[in-house]
Amino acid sequence: MPGRYDLIVCSELLYFMGDRRGLSRAARKIARALAPGGHLVMTHSNLVVDEPDRPGFNWDFPFGARAIADTFAATRPLRHVRELRAAPYRIQLFRAERWTRRLRHRRRPIVTQLPPPPPLPCHVAGDFVSAGRPARVDASAAIVTHRLPILMYHRIAAAGAPSTARYRVAPEAFEQQLRYLRDAGFYGVGVDDWREAMERRRPLPGRAVMLTFDDGYMDFRTDAWPVLRRYGFPAIVFLVTDEVGGTNRWAHVLGEEVPLLGWPDIAELSREGVAFGAHSASHPRLTPLSVTEVAREAARSRASLHRGLGRPVSAFAYPHGDCDPGVQHLIGATGFVYGFTCRNERSAFHDNLLDLPRIEIEGSDTLEDFIAKLDIDEASPLSH
């Protein structure tokens, strides 16, 4: 590297040095190219080969961000000043300083733990593993998802009327379920990821899952979303648009009205990465309605969400799971691409996009029930 520089940026490169000797040579060359007081900024991913007891990528490289940082910290005249750390990656700052005995004992950087990042892109999420997973996986036994579990939740709440217990998962149980998903190697996908897999007839890598929440209860913001963020899972929330900011009046026969998200809540959640869809305008059963009434329910809800979010939405969840081919046709005709039912099975490549099944997670489900509903044995090895 000719010349001397005040700043060098190195991103996603040093894995390819081949071995630790090559990495050390690269570190010395970069250090010599820094002017006194100059800075080196590096970004690399965490690999489980470095730290098998921590989350990281299971890529076939001899080292990752941790080993790279250790190598550069031991290279004169570099000092590891600061590190921003997240589960998938680290951003590291080094400064070229005069190497002294005193400095050698002050090399520990200031470490800032970053909040959970947005969900990983589908094409790499399958390579991200949680703590305790092996550092190498035999490619012939790689796991893929050709039938996607789409999970359907309603409320995440600790208490409520006995008549609504089926639709209410306790926060402790919900966290236990997400912990299981993370530890079993699941990652969350969105509707467009699954549509692409369906169109190409190409399984998603690893164990994929989709999480959906019907009705848009306020407890999604207070009790569900913080846990989803902590475990790194995205979510789709289906809103009853006429009732945004009100209560679930359509369920008054059950003897319990519960507050729903308001538009300020929805806007903030959208900025934080939550996806939204329509659950109709007023939550009626659709099959008894006339063609005009179904079209109005769909069009009104879609227009309301477009105004509230500032962008069109493409997903619709049928209230009560009540639909037939005629209703699905009308939902598609009003601009929706995806329709979610309550048909209790995993989604397959041959599914109609307006007739996607979902697996209901009920308040009475034990962790064993939850695992059985996922039926993870169907996430088949590539070799099968």
Q: Report d(CA 193, CA 236) in Å as an integer.
A: 13
| pLDDT per position as a tens digit, 48-90 | 888 877 888 888 888 999 999 999 998 989 999 999 998 899 9
Whether pLDDT at 378 is above 70:
no
Label residue 237 by pLDDT band (50, 70, 90). very high
d(CA 123, CA 201): 15
Measured CA to CA, the distance from residue 382 to residue 122 in angstroms comes to: 17
pLDDT tens string 5-21: 999 999 999 998 888 88
232 contacts 208 by C-beta, under 8 angstroms: no
Q: pLDDT per residue over 20-33, tens digit each? A: 889 999 999 999 99
107 pLDDT tier (thresholds 50, 70, 90) = low
The answer to whether residue 261 scores a pLDDT higher than 70 is yes
* The predicted structure's pLDDT at residue 269: 96
- Which segments of the chain belong to CATH 3.40.50.150? 5-113
Quote the CA–CA distance of 328 and 277 in Å, as a whole number: 15
When pLDDT is cut at 50, 70 and 90, the band that residue 135 belongs to is: very low
**CATH code of the region 5-113:** 3.40.50.150
Q: What is the CATH code for 122-378? A: 3.20.20.370
Q: Please indicate, yes or no, whether the overall pTM of this predicted structure exceeds 0.85.
A: no
Residues spanned by CATH 3.20.20.370 within the chain?
122-378
* N-terminal to C-terminal alpha carbon distance within the chain: 49
